[in-house]
Amino acid sequence: MAEVELENYSYTHLHYSEWPDRGVPEDVEELRRMLGELMKYDTIVIHCSAGLGRSGVVAALLAIMVQLEINSSISIFGTARKLREHRFGAIQNN
């Protein structure tokens, strides 16, 4: 995690490098910690090298975490569908 200031705007950059392209993270606890850290912010930008699969999964996980804070009912399929409507190819399934 790094604090960065650019043109009078300060932001925090989180870099998670343990999730290989077309693979899965070996240590889910580290991923869980990163998601917990992301939940602290009001506005976030998510991007992986390809900008599709991993980014979509992180966005879906965060959306589900927010839904669970509001109520106990979630729709994993509905969350994935909404993300795919906004970003074609988000959350790869192959």
The active-site residue out of 35, 44, 46, 48 is 48
The backbone torsions φ and ψ at residue 46, rounded to the nearest 5 degrees and listed phi first, read -120, 135
CA nearest to 56, candidates 6, 19, 28: 19
Q: What is the largest CA-CA distance in the chain?
A: 42
CA dihedral 83, 32, 17, 20 (to 10 degrees): -60
CA-atom Rg of the chain in angstroms: 14
Is 44 an annotated catalytic residue?
Answer: no
Active site residues: 48
